[in-house]
Amino acid sequence: MKQKTDNLWKFGSIPMIEPEDLGIVLATSSDIALLLNSDTKISSILVNKAEKSYGNLDHWIGREITDFLTMESVPKIESAIKKLESGETVLYGLELNHVDNAYWQFPIKYNIHRLRKDGQIILLGRDLQIISENQQRFVKAQILSEESIEEKRELEAHFKVLLTKTTDALAFINARSGELIFSNPAFQELFFNNEIKDEKTKIESFISTRSERKGFMEKLSIAAHGTYDISEELDTNNGEVIFSITPNVYRAAGQQIIICKFLPKTIRKQGEKELVENLLATFHNSPDAMIFTDLKGSIQYTNERFLDLTNTSHKNEVIAQNLSDFLGRGEIDLAIMLENVMKSGAVKIYSTHLKSSFGTKIDIEASVSRNNSDANGLIAFIVREVLSSRDRVEVSNVPSKLEHNQDEVAAKELVGSATLKEIVTDTTDVIEKICIEAALGITKNNRAAAADLLGLSRQSLYVKLSKFEM
């Protein structure tokens, strides 16, 4: 049986096509076809009739192809032509951007063929305009998406900072279940200890009276929609407190959320609120150092003046440290002040010196007090810098000279009435007695502390007390 091969193409050959038919094939199989002479000038151009956006490109004929390419495309076509001249016959996927009279441009992806007969080059191209536009749309959409994400991150950061820094207790509550979604540090400080978190915790659990818990969420929701405050007694870390609750409702992610502000009624009065604000301003702006410690001397709060006196850069460096670390006589000073403040409730003036982080010492006077109504309350220290003894001598030089002259006259009067040894002994005894009396006065007659203050053993101090009948 004879095989029919007349209508089949053999590998490496194609049927003969008339020139006019070949032009139609090239024009329809590509969006644009260019024929370049050996000198890279355009000798012929075919445009797919379906592509009307190009217009008439006949003015390209006889011109260099580089005249109609963008600057970044010129090196591409030059490199491709060099490859063809070196022996390659076909190059695929060369993307060029055409430009015409600087008014418009369009991207084309070419397959480039070199004709063996006369060295001409034929470029068959597909329009990339649609792909380019889609890519641009995608890039714009991606940029907008990233900008939206960044805006959300910024808003979230602002939101967290706002909630963290506000002094009002705030809580976000699921209107349907009553569960806490989120609460700020001020709320957590009121209602939670360090171990308990607020996930899945219901707001009703904080109500003091169990009978009031059942209808609380309904009461809260009505108040939120009616935009008025409600009062409720809640269990806090400090006991039962009546709060004024301000609820507001909004919708997020398909569910109703109630944001509540909790204000203790004890500070709702404007006068008391202003007093608190003034006290805080006084604490922060005081020219004297103010320190609050627990009953063992561990620093809980301090103002900027204390940081200045101790040459400390940040509060975190002193918080939780013991105050004795900064006192001249360390634990002795702290023990004396704490003992006396626990007995009498206050220490008016206690003189010592303060140690800085650089090792320098500053003479100070400290006043100490505590709140007797709170067994676990804080101890307040007010520390003021005073002039050293050397500075006091320089400031008041005339009186010191007068006192020196008086002492000199008194000493001269003793000459002749006793030996030098006896005069020195008597004088030493007087000084010793004065120093012991001063130490006992500072320590509120605490003999053990007075001995430490004078650098004596307790036995030596008792001997001297017996000697001076004190």
pLDDT under 70: residue ranges of the chain? 1-29, 50-53, 89, 101-104, 116-117, 132, 194-199, 266-273, 372-376, 388-427, 429-430
Q: Is this model's pTM higher than 0.75 or not?
A: no
Give how far Cα 94 sits from Cα of 53, 64, 108, 109, 301, Å.
Answer: 21, 18, 8, 5, 72
Task: Return the pLDDT at 128.
Answer: 78
Q: What does the pLDDT read at residue 445?
A: 79
Distances in Å between the alpha carbon of 181 and those of 152, 213, 221, 259, 302?
A: 19, 19, 16, 10, 34
How many whole angstroms from its chain centre is CA 445?
51
Question: pLDDT tens across 208-265, in order?
Answer: 888 788 888 888 988 888 878 888 888 888 788 889 899 998 887 778 899 999 988 7
Q: How far apart are CA 366 and CA 341, in angstroms?
A: 12
Backbone angles phi, psi at 41, to 5 degrees: -90, 145
As a whole number of angstroms, the distance between CA 296 and CA 341 comes to 12
Q: How far apart are CA 168 and CA 191, in angstroms?
A: 13
Supply the DSSP string of 364-422, one letter for each residue: EEEEEEE-TT-TT-PEEEEEEE---HHHHHHHTHHHHHHHHHHHHHHHHHHBTTB-HHH
Q: What share of the chain is helix, strand, coil (3-state, %, to 5)?
A: 45, 25, 30
d(CA 381, CA 366): 6
The two tokens of residue 103 are: 């008014």
Residue type, 32: I
The closest of 179, 199, 198, 181 to 190, measured between CA atoms, is 198
pLDDT reported for residue 382: 92
176 vs 224: CA distance, rounded Å: 13
How many helices, marked H, and strands, marked E, lie in the chain? 14, 15
Query: What is the pLDDT, as a whole number, of residue 236?
Result: 85
pLDDT at 261: 92
Which helix (H) or strand (E) segment is 292 a member of?
strand 289-293
Token pair of 425, please? Answer: 């002994």
pLDDT for the residue 264: 86
Hey, what domains does the chain have and what are their CATH numbers? 21-127 (3.30.450.20), 166-268 (3.30.450.20), 273-386 (3.30.450.20), 418-467 (1.10.10)
Under a CB-based contact definition with an 8 Å cutoff, are residues 311 and 396 in contact? no
Per the DSSP assignment, residues forming a β-bridge with 242 are: 233
pLDDT tens string 173-199: 998 888 988 888 888 888 887 655 555
Instruction: Please report the pLDDT score of residue 262 as a whole number.
Output: 92
